[in-house]
Chains A and B, each alone.
Chain A
Amino acid sequence: MGVVYGLTVVALGLIALSLSGTIVGSFAPTGEVFGLTLDNYRRIAADARVPGILWRTIQLGLGTVFVVMAVALPMAWILGRTDFKWKTVLFAALAAKLAIPGFITAMAYVWLFNPSSGLVNQLLGQTSIDGTPAFDVYQMWWICLLQGLVLVPGAVFMLLPAIRNLDASLEEAALTAGVPRPQVFLRIVVPLLAPAVLAVAVFYFIIAVEMFDFVAIIGFGDGGEVLVLRIYRALVETGGLPQYGTAGVYGMILFVLCIGAIVGYVRLLRDARRFAVVGGKRRMMAPVVLGRWHGVATSYAVIWFVLTVALPVITLAWVTLTPFFQPPSQEAFQSISLAGFVDGFSYLAEPALNTLGIMIGAVTVAISFSIALTWVVTRSRSPLAKWADAAVFLAPAVPTVVSATAFQVFGIAIYQWLPLYGTLWLMIAAMGTRMVTYCSRTMNSAALQLAPELEEAGWVSGLSPFAAFRHIFVPLMMPAIFYAALMVGMLSARDLTLPLIMGGGRTPLVSTLIFDLQTNGEYNSAAAIALYMIVVLVALALFARRLTGLGEAGLGRDGR
C-alpha cells in the first residue's frame, strides 16, 4: 500500500502548503517572499480601512446566506415533500445552473444594470449620463442577491436529504397525539431540521465571503472593498510587484473568519447526525398535495430560473448577436449577425487548450489524491487517518484566493530548482489540491456505504492489501469516482479566481479570457465565448446528472 500512503502524504503536504504559504507570506518583508517581520501585521493593524473591509465582508456573507436560504429552503421543500409536477424539470434546471460560471452571470448583470450604459437603463432612458439611473448594479445588496441566487442549486442539494429523511412517524406521532399541524411544524419539524439547515447556512457563509466572481466583475460603486478583493488587489493590481506580505495578512484574517465558521459547521453537522440516528426504520411522509398552490410553486421556480439562467443567457446571446453594445430596438434587430460567434471563436485556440489541460490535470490530481485519502480515512488504522480526516474537514476554510497565493509563494520559493511559477503545472497542482477536499467528501460518504468486509474477504482469500484495493475497493468506488471526476472537471473549467491570481496573463484560460475581454470592452466576443462555455459545461452537467443522478441521489451536495 506504499503508493496509497505516499499519495496521501503528498496530498496532505499540498493541503498544508495551501495554508502555510499564506502564513509564510504574511511574515515576509515588503518586496520579498521570505523573512520574518511583523511589519505587515503592524501596518494593517494601523490601517483605518480595515474595520470597514471586515464589516463589508461580514455583510456580504450574511446577505448572501439570507438570499440562499430564503430561496433554497422553499425549493428544497417543494422538491422533497410535495407532489410538485415539474420536479424532474426543476432538478435538471438546478443541475444546469450548477454548471454556469458565476462570473458569467455577474457579467450579464453588469451589462443589464450598470448605471452608465446598462441595457435596461438605456431602454428606460434613465442612465447616470442622463441623470439618475433606474438601476445601479454596483451595490452590496445586488451582489448579495446575485451570489445568493446563483448558489441556490448547491444549497438545495445539501438540504434535500435532511428534508427527505425527516422521519414521517415523528410528525405522525405528534398529529395522532392531538397536536395541531402548525404546532407540529414549529415544535417537531423545525427543531429537527434546525441543525442541518444551520449547517448549510454556515457552509454558504464561507463560500459567500470567499467567492470572487461577483466581487471581481461587479464590485462596489463607492470604491469599497471586501477581503477577497483586497487580497486580489495586493497581488495583481499593485502597479508593481505582488505584495505577498499584505495579501498574506488579509488572507490570515479571511482564514480565521472561515475557520470559525467551519468549526461551527462541523458541530452542527454532528448535531444533525445525532438527530438522524434517533428513529430505527424511517418512513417517508406522504407528499403534501399542492392543489391550488401548484401555480405558486411553479411561478416561484420559473422566476428563479429566469433570473439566474434565462436572463443571463438571453443577455449573452443579445450582446453576441449585435455588433455594438445597444438595447433592443428596430435598428438593433436589423443589425443582428453571427459575426460575434466567429470573432469569439478566433480567440479560443490557446485558452481552450489550456483549460482542457487544467481540467484533465486537476481531475487526475484530485481523483488520485482523494481516493488515497478516502481509503486511508475510511479503511486504514494508520495514524495518518486522523490527519487526513482533519485536513479534509478543515481545508474548505482555506479560501481559493488564499491557497492560490500560497501556491504562488511556493512557486517563487522553488523557482531556482523547479521553474513551475507561472506555468500551467503549478495551476494544476493548486487547482487539484483545491478540489481534493471537495472530492474526498463525496468519496468518503461513498466509501462508508461500502461494507469493509468486501475487502477483508479479499485479504482472507489471500489477496494482498493493494490487490484488494485495486480490484475490489476501486472498482466498487467507480460511480463515485466518475461523478467526482465530472464535477472536478466542471468546477475547474469554470473557476476564475485561481487563474486570475496565478496565471498572470501568461497562461490564458477560457475563464480569464472572458474576464479580460470584458474588462477591455470587447463585450461581443466575451459574450460569445461565455455562451460556448455554458453550452459545453451544461452538457457536461446534464450528462453527469443522467449517469449518476446528480442532486437527487444526494450527490453533488457541495456543488457551488
Chain B
Amino acid sequence: MIAVDNVHVTFRLQGADITALDGVSLSIEPGQVFVLLGPSGCGKTTLLRCLAGLETPASGKISIDGQSMSDAAAQIFVPPHQRPLAMVFQSYAMWPHMNVFENIAFPLRAGSHKIPAGEIERRVDETLALLEISALKNRPVTTLSGGQQQRVSLARALALRPRVLLMDEPLSNLDHQLQIQLRSQLRALMRRLKLTTVHVTHNQEEALELGDRIAVLNHGKVVQIADGPTLFTEPANSFVARFLGDMNLFAGAIVGSGLVQATVETRAGRLEARRGAATDLGAGAWCYFGIRPNDVRLNATEPGNTVTAMVTARRYLGATVLHTLEAGPLQFQAATHPAQSIEVGQRTRAHFPIERSVVVPAADEKPYEDD
C-alpha cells in the first residue's frame, strides 16, 4: 500500500515561491490502478515525482508497504534508486546510446534491481514477448516510432519487476487512434499483472478507462478521490463536474431537502436533483444544479423538472448534435441523436430527469452569477 500524508511541495521560480502540492493525502491499495487526473499545473506530475523520489517534499510523509520513503519531519529520504518502483516517462527517456535490448538490460545489470548475468537475457525476452515487441530487440532506439518507444519504455520498467509502477502521461505523445488502442492493451495488461500502478494523465477518458480509483487534483490539492462512475455522476464540486465531461451547471440554493434528493432554486425555477456528493448541504446553502448534456431530453412530454428553452446554436458532431439553449437567463447544452435535432430559433421543452440530475457543491465560495 502507498500512503501519502499531508505532502507539501514548493518550488522557487524566478524569485517567487510556487506551491505545487498543498497538503495532499491519499492511499493506494495493492494491485490498484490509481490515476492522478487534473489540468496542467495541478501538481499531478509533481506528486508522481515525489513518489519516485525525484522531488523532495517540504513536509509530509510518503510510505510504500509500510516502509517510509520520505518523511520531512524525521529527515528520512530514500533516494530514487533505492525505492521499489519503476517509472515510465512522458518523453519515454530512452537512452539514445543503447539499443532496445541494452535499454532494458542495463538497469538489470548495473542497478539495485540487479539479477544474475545469466538471467538477464531471459528476463528481457520475456518482457519483450509480454508487450509483443520481440522483433524490436536489437533495434537502435533512435529508429523507433512513438508507439514503439512507449512500449519499450514500459518494458524497461516492467522488466525490473517493481512493486509499484509509475506512469507519467505515457500516452500523451501519441496520436489519438494509437492512444485509444494502447489504452485498452494497457488496461488488459494491468489486470493481468495486478501491479500497483500510479498513472498520471490530463485526459479524462484515459482516466475513466484505466483507473480503479481516480484522484482529481486542482491547484495542488486533491479535490475528489473516487472510482470513475462515481466521479462522473456525483462530482464533489463544480470543478470536477466541469473538468469531467463539461456538465451543465445552474447556480442556485437548496430550498427543500431530503436524504436522497434536494430541491434547488435556480433562476429558471425550482429543480429536483439527487444529492450526489452533496450529502451535508442544508437548506439555504449555495450550490449548483447539474446535468450532463446527453442526459437532457428535448421535446419532452414528461411533467416536472422542465424548462422552456430556445435553441440558439447547433454543432454537428457526427454521432450527436450539440444544441446550445437559452431559458431566460440560463444557458445550457443538450446533445441529441441527429435525427432528433431541433432547428435554431425553435422553442422546446427541456426535461432534466431527476435520476440524472445531481446537486453539485460550489468549488468557489459562491457560484458565479452568470452560470
A interface residues with partner B (beta carbon < 8 Å): 451, 453-454, 456-465, 467, 471-472, 475-476
Contact = CB atoms under 8 A, between A and B. Distances in A.
Interface in B60-87: 79-83, 85-87
B314 interface: no
13 contacts: A457-B89, A457-B95, A457-B156, A458-B81, A458-B111, A459-B79, A460-B54, A460-B80, A461-B157, A462-B81, A463-B107, A467-B111, A471-B110
Nearest to A478: B97
B79 A462 contact: no
A460 B79 contact: no
Contact of A463 (B91, B96, B111): B111
Contacts of A459: 52-54, 79-81
Interface string B98-122: 0000000011001111100000000
B97 A463 contact: no
Nearest to A451: B91
A462 B97 contact: no
Question: What 10 A-B pairs come out closest when comparing CB atoms?
Answer: A462-B111, A461-B107, A457-B93, A459-B80, A462-B112, A453-B93, A460-B87, A462-B113, A463-B111, A453-B89
Contacts of B79: 459, 465
A450 to B, nearest CB: 9
Nearest to A476: B97
Kindly name the residue among B79, B106, B113 whose own CB sees the greatest number of chain A CB atoms within 10 A: B106
Nearest to A468: B81
Kindly name the residue among A454, A461, A463, A475 whose own CB sees the greatest number of chain B CB atoms within 10 A: A461
A475 B106 CA distance: 14
Given A457-B89, A464-B112, A476 B81 contact: no
B93 A451 contact: yes
A467 B89 CA distance: 19
Given A459-B81, A461-B113, A476-B95, 20 more contacts: A451-B91, A453-B89, A453-B91, A456-B89, A457-B87, A458-B95, A458-B111, A459-B54, A460-B52, A460-B81, A461-B81, A461-B111, A461-B157, A462-B107, A462-B160, A463-B112, A465-B81, A467-B111, A471-B110, A475-B97
A231 to B, nearest CB: 40
B97 A458 contact: no
Nearest to A464: B81
B166 interface: yes
Given A459-B80, A461-B113, A463-B111, A471 B93 contact: no
Contact of B95 (A462, A467, A472): A472
Contacts of B89: 453, 456-457
B91 A456 contact: no
A451 B92 CA distance: 11
A458 B111 CA distance: 8
A553 to B, nearest CB: 17
B110 A456 contact: no
Nearest to A454: B93
A218 to B, nearest CB: 48
A458 B112 contact: no
Nearest to A472: B95
A5 to B, nearest CB: 15
A460 B95 contact: no
Contacts of A461: 81, 86-87, 106-107, 111, 113, 156-157, 160
Contacts of A471: 106, 110
A462 B108 CA distance: 8
Kindly name the residue among B52, B79, B97, B153 whose own CB sees the greatest number of chain A CB atoms within 10 A: B97
A460 B52 CA distance: 7
Interface of B: 52-54, 79-83, 85-87, 89, 91, 93, 95-97, 106-107, 110-114, 153, 156-157, 160, 166
Contacts of B113: 461-462
Contacts of A454: 93, 95-96
Contacts of A453: 89, 91, 93
A462 B153 CA distance: 15
Contacts of B166: 460
B172 to A, nearest CB: 14
A143 B95 CA distance: 51
A240 B110 CA distance: 60
Contacts of B160: 461-462
A456 B111 contact: no
Nearest to B56: A381
Nearest to B104: A461
A457 B89 CA distance: 7
Contacts of B93: 451, 453-454, 456-457
A465 to B, nearest CB: 7
A49 to B, nearest CB: 46
Nearest to B80: A459
A86 to B, nearest CB: 34
Contacts of A456: 52, 54, 80, 87, 89, 93
A383 to B, nearest CB: 13
B150 to A, nearest CB: 13
B110 A467 contact: yes
A464 B82 CA distance: 8
B81 A463 contact: yes
A481 to B, nearest CB: 13
A453 B54 CA distance: 10
A457 B87 CA distance: 7
Contact of B86 (A460, A465, A475): A460
A458 B160 CA distance: 12
Contacts of B107: 458, 461-463
Contacts of B153: 457
Contacts of B157: 461
Given A456-B80, A461-B157, A476 B86 contact: no
Nearest to B51: A460
Contacts of B111: 458, 461-464, 467
A555 to B, nearest CB: 19
B116 to A, nearest CB: 15
A479 to B, nearest CB: 11
A465 B80 CA distance: 9
Contacts of B54: 456, 459-460
A463 B110 contact: yes
Contacts of A457: 87, 89, 93, 95, 153, 156
A456 B86 CA distance: 11
A472 B160 CA distance: 18
Contacts of A462: 81-82, 107, 111-114, 160
Contacts of A476: 95-97
A471 B102 CA distance: 12
Contacts of A464: 81, 111-112
A476 B93 CA distance: 13
Kindly name the residue among B53, B81, B86, B157 whose own CB sees the greatest number of chain A CB atoms within 10 A: B81
A465 B111 CA distance: 10
B247 to A, nearest CB: 33
Nearest to B82: A462
A172 B37 CA distance: 42
Nearest to A455: B93
Kindly name the residue among B87, B106, B110 whose own CB sees the greatest number of chain A CB atoms within 10 A: B110
B179 to A, nearest CB: 20
A63 B145 CA distance: 55
A273 B93 CA distance: 27
A457 B166 CA distance: 11
A460 B97 contact: no
